[in-house]
Amino acid sequence: MDLPSTAVLVVVLVTLPLAAATLLFASGRQPRTLTLAAALLLTVAALALGWNVHIEGVSVHRIGGWAAPLGIHWQVTPSGTVMLLATALVGLAGAVYGAGYFLHRAGPEGRMARVFMPLWLFAWGGLNALFVAADLFNLYVALEVMTLASVALVALSARRMALQAAMRYLLAGLFGSVIYLLGVALLYGQYGVLDFDALATMLDPDDPGSRAGAVALTVGLLAKAAIFPLHFWLPGAHGRAEPPVSALLSGLVVAAAFYLMLRLWFGPLAGMLNFGAGTLLGVLGAGALLWGGVLALLQRRLKMLVAYSTVSQFGFAMLVFPLAVSGNRAPVLAGGTLLLANHALAKAALFLAAGTLVRASGSERIGQLVGFSGRARWAWLAVILASAALIGLPPTLGFSAKWLLLQAAVTEGAWWWLAVMLGGTLLTFAYLGRLLELALLDAAPGPSPPPVLTPALLAPALLLALLACVTGLWAFDFELDGKALARLEPGS
């Protein structure tokens, strides 16, 4: 196989979205072919990168040829690659969906159609930049690109509720950034480096500066990742945004913030993760899991349910921290990463399908959704598959992820965390079951004539959900191998 080198692929992944977005913006029109070609190219690049990483493992690239700590590095890690892949898949699906969703060329929808793609690509670029970054400050800038693009996407419909949600999201995101930046400042003040590897080697887990810095970084990211009890912005932003936007936001943007937390605590800050802090993070996760689950159970509107389910799912992901305190970190990190990837695919599928269903039903209330009939059945199929993945039923990716975490909990005898995970899974069962039950039993006839559901509205969600289900087997194999675990992360 003669693929372009990893360095070239990374450059493509981070610059192509920005270039394409600028081009689209400057041209002022919306050439779909260009858009989709860019999305496709990005996906291909991500896949190629995945293959390269599979073959070569971790690689590091100096930007401008400057060595750290002076210059900035890109680090292509397996976990980052998994996220890049998930981003590419969701990005492509969202682009296709968006092209089919904003149909009209005039009016507000025309405006949305025109602006959606540049913003989408910007968010994509920000995410890609984030997943390869290995520098505290560079991450800050990448986070801001991502946040700002997301905010604009939330505000896309320019309806009052959407604007309100966007504003709250923006403030929350910036708040998180400020606190994160404080952490960067503290760590820079302590060590005078920003590079992850340098930081990892220099880190003295016992001095106050590093501790305070770590706390600030974490708390800032907690706010950005909407971890309970700082989830105050998420339901509104995700529930009010346009469906493709919610898919990106819920699937990737929140995950990116969380991924960063993984990256930090399993990378440069790994030496600092002690029982107390791990437990605190785990308690937050438990709270998120239960609280988000209960609230999801109570929602009456489809997208709000899905939004609260995000709160809940990230609670699950938070449990990696207590599990990583004493045990073998590699499988925990693998589990966390796979959980994020699974969530990205499944949640994006769920939101995309939800958008289709809402359009087909003309209502967002769960009780008034059309049933498993007509073309909406494809959307329901996607919902069912995505639900299975979110719950973590075998053989989905979610199962593989939860499997790893459960195993870690068992080997460490972390019974409490085990119980929390099980309870959370049950809650997930409950609210998704409720959704399916309500929707399938109380199916409303839907408006007549039924809105046209084009393949672009149906296929992306279904394919994402299928991917979430199918890749699980492969991932499972991969993990059981043990060989993948051994080289999963450079830091561990």
Burial class (CB in 10 A: 0-12, 13-18, 19+), 262: buried
Look up residue 375 and give its two tokens: 């073309």
Nearest residue (CB) to other proteins, 208 versus 449? 208
Q: How many CA atoms lie within 13 A of 363 on its CB side?
A: 15
Residue 160 CB, shortest distance to other proteins, in Å, is 4
What x-and-dash track marks residues 361-380 binding other proteins by CB under 8 A?
-----------x----x---
What x-and-dash track marks residues 414-433 binding other proteins by CB under 8 A?
----x---x--xx--xx--x
What x-and-dash track marks residues 28-67 binding other proteins by CB under 8 A?
x--------------------------------xxxxxx-
Output 368-373 pairs: Cβ under 8 A, ≥24 positions apart. 368/442, 368/444, 369/302, 369/438, 369/439, 369/443, 369/444, 370/443, 370/444, 370/445, 370/446, 370/450, 371/439, 371/440, 371/443, 371/444, 372/440, 372/443, 373/443
Cβ pair 253, 123 in contact under 8 A: yes
Of the candidates 259, 397, 413, 257, which has an alpha carbon nearest to the alpha carbon of residue 325? 413
Residue 152 CB, shortest distance to other proteins, in Å, is 3
Of the candidates 316, 339, 305, which has an alpha carbon nearest to the alpha carbon of residue 468? 339
Q: How far, in Å, CA of 161 to CA of 182, rounded?
A: 32
* Near other proteins in 75-114, by CB under 8 A: 107-108, 111
User: 105 CB contacts (<8 Å, ≥6 apart)?
Assistant: 113
Q: How far, in Å, CA of 196 to CA of 219, rounded?
A: 19
Considering only residues 272, 389, 390, 463, which one is a binding residue for other proteins as defined by CB under 8 A? 272
Cβ pair 417, 282 in contact under 8 A: yes
Residue 286 CB, shortest distance to other proteins, in Å, is 14
Q: How many CA atoms lie within 13 A of 377 on its CB side?
A: 4
Considering only residues 280, 367, 455, 483, which one is a binding residue for other proteins as defined by CB under 8 A? 280
Under rule CB under 8 A, residue 174 binds other proteins: yes
Under rule CB under 8 A, residue 186 binds other proteins: yes
Nearest residue (CB) to other proteins, 227 versus 350? 227
Considering only residues 6, 9, 13, 18, which one is a binding residue for other proteins as defined by CB under 8 A? 18
Residue 115 CB, shortest distance to other proteins, in Å, is 4
Tokens 């981003």 locate to 87
Residue 90 CB, shortest distance to other proteins, in Å, is 19
Under rule CB under 8 A, residue 175 binds other proteins: yes
- Give the CA angle between residues 281, 288, 244 to the nearest 5°: 115
Under rule CB under 8 A, residue 229 binds other proteins: yes
Q: How far, in Å, CA of 214 to CA of 84, rounded?
A: 25
Question: What SS3 state is found at 29?
Answer: coil
Under rule CB under 8 A, residue 231 binds other proteins: yes
Under rule CB under 8 A, residue 356 binds other proteins: no
Of the candidates 350, 369, 348, 349, which has an alpha carbon nearest to the alpha carbon of residue 358? 369
Residue 225 CB, shortest distance to other proteins, in Å, is 13
Under rule CB under 8 A, residue 334 binds other proteins: no
Residue 88 CB, shortest distance to other proteins, in Å, is 19
DSSP for 117-147, please give it. Answer: HHHHHHHHHHHHHHHHB-BHHHHHHHHHHHH
Within 362-414, residue ranges assigned H as helices are 376-391, 397-412
Cβ pair 456, 97 in contact under 8 A: yes
Under rule CB under 8 A, residue 72 binds other proteins: yes
Nearest residue (CB) to other proteins, 426 versus 452? 426
Under rule CB under 8 A, residue 406 binds other proteins: yes
Under rule CB under 8 A, residue 300 binds other proteins: no
Tokens 């990483």 locate to 53
Considering only residues 37, 55, 103, 410, which one is a binding residue for other proteins as defined by CB under 8 A? 410
Cβ pair 309, 354 in contact under 8 A: no
Considering only residues 54, 274, 367, 486, which one is a binding residue for other proteins as defined by CB under 8 A? 274
Considering only residues 45, 99, 221, 222, which one is a binding residue for other proteins as defined by CB under 8 A? 222
Residue 211 CB, shortest distance to other proteins, in Å, is 5
Only segment of 42-50, 259-267, 409-417, 483-491 that touches other proteins (CB under 8 A): 409-417
Residue 221 CB, shortest distance to other proteins, in Å, is 12
Q: What is the dihedral of CA 462, 463, 465, 471, to 10 degrees?
A: 160
Cβ pair 269, 212 in contact under 8 A: no
Under rule CB under 8 A, residue 191 binds other proteins: yes
* Near other proteins in 453-492, by CB under 8 A: 473-474, 476-477, 480
Number of residues that bind other proteins (CB under 8 A): 131
Considering only residues 37, 55, 158, 452, which one is a binding residue for other proteins as defined by CB under 8 A? 158
Nearest residue (CB) to other proteins, 144 versus 490? 144
Considering only residues 247, 295, 323, 358, which one is a binding residue for other proteins as defined by CB under 8 A? 295
Nearest residue (CB) to other proteins, 64 versus 449? 64
User: Quick one: which H or E segment has residue 74?
Assistant: strand 73-76
Only segment of 94-102, 188-196, 345-353, 356-364 that touches other proteins (CB under 8 A): 188-196
